[in-house]
Amino acid sequence: MKTRQRKRLFVSAALAVSLTMTVPMPASVNAAASDVTFTINTQSERAPISPNIYGTNQDLSGTENWSSRRLGGNRLTGYNWENNASSAGRDWLHYSDDFLCGNGGVPDTDCDKPGAVVTAFHDKSLENGAYSIVTLQMAGYVSRDKNGPVDESETAPSPRWDKVEFAKNAPYSLQPDLNDGQVYMDEEVNFLVNRYGNASTPTGIKAYSLDNEPALWSETHPRIHPEQLQAAELVTKSIDLSKAVKNVDPHAEIFGPALYGFGAFLSLQDAPDWPSLQGDYSWFIDYYLDQMKNAHTQNGKRLLDVLDVHWYPEAQGGGQRIVFGGAGNIDTQKARVQAPRSLWDPTYQEDSWIGTWFSNYLPLIPKLQSSIQTYYPGTKLAITEFSYGGDNHISGGIATADALGIFGKYGLYAANYWQTEDDTDYTSAAYKLYRNYDGNKSGFGSIKVNAVTSDTENSSVYASVTDEENDELHLIVLNKNFDDPINATFKLSGDKTYTSGRVWGFDQTGSDITEQAAVTNINNNQFTYTLPPLSAYHIVLKADSAEPVNSDLVVQYKDGDRNDATNNQIKPHFNILNKGTSPVDMSSLTLRYYFTKDSSAAMNGWIDWAKLGGSNIQISFGNHNGANSDTYVELGFSSGAGLIAAGGQSGEIQLRMSKADWSNFNEANDYSFDGAKTAFADWDRVVLYQNGTVVWGSEP
């Protein structure tokens, strides 16, 4: 955490100085919240959500229900699988020790056993049903001993280090030779396959990472790789190590090159040979993908399965970067909740040196996906280290929840959080919102569907269904406004009508996820809900109805204006017939008539007469975007309206409407109008709902 902070700040500061830039102060965000509309369509943009995006590098509280776990970080570059020694590098006095054993829960008595750190890690993944990503070593040398600080004079090659070889080219041993000065990567993979099976089996290790943050080796591990990494060197090492792994386990997925951040994406941190190699490539990532694709062609097999990058945002607010400095001031916090937009939103420009000088590389995910599509189609995308800071602040919880929604919506294959602060209650809550919202490991759906907000600055929405039946719809909704609640209108469309909903969430009053007020007012797949300031909610909607739907209801209609379609009033009259064998409670019904207002004036409505009593009928108006309709009038019925007996009818209902300015209508093109019906007749362009479900008519 602190060691990583020093490294990140060094890198960003060095880049900032080299660019000699002036960063503008951020514009204010989060003006007073207005009403927000969330539009969800379960039939549009359907795609599987990879379960591996809910992953981590540290286990935190253990209640997050992680879907994937990564054994990675700076320590892994110098890890020796034969004896479990590793190097802290510049993070801590270039120390070689048994830190990874203690950190990974390996007993002292087992710390000298081959692969003990990796097997303890994967055993825990198997226990929790998580996907494992294990880092292999590629920088050249690993710790031979656990004897503490390594002096500069002991830089590799020296007796303090064993040389890394990718392929043994000799029979493997499950008890490797500790005195030969060599550590073989394919022998490690063989050891793991022998213990767990290959990656195609239920217990096998699924993925291997090609080391960690190679562009920084000369900075983080100068005793191992003191010279700045060359771009061609990284490609050669990546190809050779990948081939060695695939020769042992052809089913394993290869993640690479685990680049630390934008400086590495762009030029491999100004690699000495990059100017001679860049050519027409937009950035180093293009070159890397192209070279790995060429190797695939030459070797007849894929040698890179997942493009792997790390993302610690450089965004800042109030003069402070949003990561590595705690929650920060109010402007830092506001910048933090907006920062995930740099992953996907082309209209957003973050306050950072990247946003100022390299904005054409943002938003990040589409840029990375474009590179993949151009240079190595079929490669998956992962962000195996990321953090938005503020881990124990509501702004960090909201930013993390937003990022998780984005990862699912935009098709990432894997993503793994990296802990940057000691207290992580709000970050933990963000994961539980998706993976354990009710304390019973219930989670977000596995198929993402279309979800759009009318206000991307103050809110976010993500939607999924659990299966092809669409009976259960999950919504993650975020209020990013610091001061005001959001009055949210949810508009749902698809092949199911949702009738009930439960809600869980957290907000600025605390990181515990608690059940909130239920959704009770769903009407024709539309409902409203209020989100408190700085809140993150998980809404679970069910399509099953608590009451049976009567399909024997019929609406009759006549034009009370007798085909006068151009005056200043609309006079539709209705009668509801019950052709079934059971009575129907009128309070379970709503009726809609669709028309065009022909102006922006407000609407008024009256019940001139109704057999069931005009006081038992409520009139409301709503906007609509459909065939020959921009407005609808809805009639609702109170309990005083009584029942429609089996074989009975409601009796005539005479509705009259006008605009507030009493201007004329043109009813001729209105969806529900039929001037020829001067006596009651069945009419399926007036729509009747029972408990929110259509039971008569067709919506425009």
* Residues forming the active site: 213
Per residue, the 3-state secondary structure of 390-417, as one string, reads: CCCCHHHHHHHHHHHHHHHHCCCCEEEE
Report whether 285 contacts 371 (CB < 8 A).
yes
- Comparing C-alpha atoms, which of 492, 502, 589, 584 is closest to residue 541? 502
Using CA atoms, how far apart are residues 639 and 635, in angstroms rounded to an integer?
A: 13
Report whether 501 contacts 541 (CB < 8 A).
yes
Beta bridge partners of 624: none
Q: State whether residue 330 is helix, strand or coil.
A: helix
Helices marked H in 443-556: none
Using CA atoms, how far apart are residues 694 and 72, in angstroms rounded to an integer?
A: 54
Helix H or strand E encompassing 323: none
Interacting residues of 297 by C-beta distance below 8 A, sequence separation 6+: none
Using CA atoms, how far apart are residues 607 and 68, in angstroms rounded to an integer?
A: 60
State the sign of the Cα–Cα–Cα–Cα dihedral 316, 322, 326, 329.
positive
Q: State whether residue 201 is helix, strand or coil.
A: coil
Q: Are strands 161-165 and 182-184 parallel, antiparallel or unpaired?
A: parallel
| Lookup: tokens for 676 | 């020829």
State the distance between the two ends of the chain, measured CA to CA, in whole angstroms: 57
Report whether 383 contacts 72 (CB < 8 A).
no
Using CA atoms, how far apart are residues 637 and 616, in angstroms rounded to an integer?
A: 6
Report whether 631 contacts 645 (CB < 8 A).
no
| Lookup: tokens for 214 | 């190679």
Using CA atoms, how far apart are residues 504 and 362, in angstroms rounded to an integer?
A: 33
175 half-sphere exposure, CB direction, 13 A CA radius: 0
- Comparing C-alpha atoms, which of 222, 223, 207, 224 is closest to residue 258? 207
Q: State whether residue 163 is helix, strand or coil.
A: strand
Rounded to the nearest 5 percent, the helix, strand and coil shares of the chain are: 25, 30, 45
Per residue, the 3-state secondary structure of 26-57, as one string, reads: CCCCCCCCCCEEEEEECCCCCEECCHHHCEEC
- Comparing C-alpha atoms, which of 536, 530, 484, 506 is closest to residue 29? 484
